[in-house]
Amino acid sequence: MKVVKYYVDVKVELKEGKNADIEKVKLEGLLKRFTKKKEDKEEPKLTVNDHTIELSGIRFRERIGFRNFVDELAEKYEAKCTPLNEANGKITVQCESDKAKISFEANVTRFKRPKKEGEEKEGESKKEEEAKTSGSSQ
């Protein structure tokens, strides 16, 4: 079974007159809702510069989770977004309003879950038996 994970980075560029510290508090609340705490995993990082807020390390297991996050953040800033642009394992989205410009970049990572030892041996023995029975009947 294949597993897909989306590692998302977000950059929010605030227009003039907006306070980055107030917006940071709003985004922290949004992050808490979309991320689940696990002791062994890293938490998302939120950094604030003059009029720029950057979020990194957000993970989603499903594309719909990523899409919901984009929609919610765009709604918060009343922004209109471009369609998802997918190329070379990256998904990008740009949203813009009179309050802010938001850029999303998601790295898509696909990997297979390792098979259990019992499953692997069972499959091999079935193939061997089929080969033996088809070889002996000829």
Sign of CA dihedral 21, 27, 28, 29: positive
Instruction: Give the separation between CA 23 and CA 15, rounded to whole angstroms.
Output: 12
Q: What is the pLDDT along the chain (138 residues), one digit of tens a residue?
A: 678 888 899 998 888 766 676 777 777 777 776 766 554 466 778 888 878 888 888 888 888 889 998 999 899 888 999 998 998 889 999 999 988 899 999 999 887 777 777 655 555 555 555 555 555 544
SS3 17: coil
Instruction: Give the separation between CA 120 and CA 59, rounded to whole angstroms.
Output: 30
Count up the domains in the chain and report the number: 1
Q: Tell me if the pTM is above 0.85.
A: no
Q: Which domain holds residue 9?
A: 2-136
